[in-house]
């Protein structure tokens, strides 16, 4: 398939989970990718896998909470491929000490710094090239926690709600520059972040969850739309486990 042939995508948080699956899905659809995350070994492994599949990828270690790191990733993609059509922000963390009774300042700062400030860094890094092109799509993979209350913790929920505000502002300010913004809200998905829960899910629960590839296909769908339209918000749920954001059963 080649729904994204000729496009260049930057995928932040590509070393595992949804980011890794998204990078592979974009390559399978004909896109060239720049992949970034903190873990260099995992990134290099993914880049090698993509090249073995006949795709093109440039790997660049980066900490999304550091603006200079994200700028370097986008610049590397633009220098190598000449343009940046899509930026997918999949970076995200949480902490075991997430409830208000145990959340400390360091935990709050880390979660907000990566999840929300990182989203700002991605946005501001991508905008100059997209403005120059008069086109571009920014996809934030947020969480259903950005729409409804749950037990993921105050810092995590605040960061995901903040992404919604950032996305809304970006759409309003950049719409005449041809820049679109999509926010994807996954419900329960079997990714490594769940290992950091106070009580990790069981195998039986994980078997009923969505998989990273499901979210990756949502990103491909958003990126494959013609420039005249875009998906503003897309909610994805595992049917057996969640209804309107809440656990069922």
Q: Residues near 201 by Cβ (< 8 Å), separated by ≥ 6? A: 188, 194, 209
Whole-structure pTM value: 0.96
3-state helix, strand, coil in the chain (%, to 5): 50, 20, 35
Helix (H) or strand (E) holding 57: strand 57-61
What is 164-214 written as a DSSP string?
HHHHHHHHHHHGGGTEEEEEEEE-SB--GGGGGSSSPPPHHHHHHSB-HHH
How many CB atoms lie under 10 A from the CB of residue 148?
Answer: 15
Of these residues, 81, 156, 185, 230, which one is catalytic?
156
Give residue-wise pLDDT tens across range 79-93. 999 999 999 999 999
Cβ atoms 161, 146 nearer than 8 A: yes
Kindly give the pairing relationship between strand 179-186 and strand 8-12.
unpaired
Give residue-wise pLDDT tens across range 161-187. 999 999 999 999 999 999 999 999 999
Burial class of residue 68 (count of CB atoms within 10 Å of its CB; 0-12, 13-18, 19+): exposed
- Which one-letter DSSP state was computed for residue 62? -
Task: Give the pLDDT score at 27.
Answer: 98
Cβ atoms 36, 11 nearer than 8 A: yes
Cβ atoms 225, 135 nearer than 8 A: no
Fold of 8-247: Rossmann fold (3.40.50)
3-state secondary structure 85-96: CEEEECCCCCCC
Query: Catalytic site residue 156?
Result: yes
Task: Give the pLDDT score at 182.
Answer: 98
Give residue-wise pLDDT tens across range 2-34. 999 999 999 999 999 999 999 999 999 999 999
Helix (H) or strand (E) holding 135: none
Using the predicted structure, report yes or no on whether residue 102 has a pLDDT greater than 80. yes
* Residue count (the chain): 249
Distance of CA 234 to the CA centre of its chain: 13
Cβ atoms 70, 64 nearer than 8 A: yes
Task: Give the pLDDT score at 244.
Answer: 72
Burial class of residue 241 (count of CB atoms within 10 Å of its CB; 0-12, 13-18, 19+): middle
In the structure encoding, which two tokens stand for residue 120, read together?
């700002």
Task: Give the pLDDT score at 249.
Answer: 56
What's the CA gap between 209 and 65, in Å, rounded?
A: 29
């Amino acid at each position: 398939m080649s729904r994204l042939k000729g496009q260049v995508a930057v995928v932040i948080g590509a070393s595992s989970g949804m980011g890794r699956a998204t990078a592979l899905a974009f390559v399978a659809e004909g896109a060239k990718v720049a992949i970034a995350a903190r873990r260099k070994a995992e990134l290099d492994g993914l880049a090698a896998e993509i090249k073995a599949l006949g795709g093109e990828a440039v790997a660049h270690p980066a900490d999304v909470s550091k603006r200079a790191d994200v700028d370097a990733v986008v610049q590397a993609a633009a220098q190598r491929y000449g343009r940046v059509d899509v930026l997918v922000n999949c970076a995200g963390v949480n902490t075991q000490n997430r409830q208000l009774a145990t959340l400390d300042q360091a935990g709050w700062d880390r979660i907000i710094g990566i999840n929300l400030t990182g989203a700002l860094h991605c946005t501001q890094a991508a905008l100059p090239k997209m403005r120059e092109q008069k086109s571009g799509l920014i996809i934030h993979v947020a969480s259903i926690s950005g729409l409804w209350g749950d037990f993921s913790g105050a810092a995590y929920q605040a960061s995901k709600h903040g992404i919604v505000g950032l996305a809304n502002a970006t759409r309003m300010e950049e719409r005449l520059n041809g820049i679109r913004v999509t926010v994807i809200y996954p419900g329960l998905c079997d990714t490594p972040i769940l290992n950091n829960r106070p009580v990790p899910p069981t195998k039986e629960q994980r078997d009923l969850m969505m998989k990273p590839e499901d979210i990756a296909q949502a990103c491909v769908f958003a990126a494959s739309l013609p420039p005249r339209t875009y998906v503003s918000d897309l909610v994805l749920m595992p049917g057996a486990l969640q209804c309107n954001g809440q656990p069922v059963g």
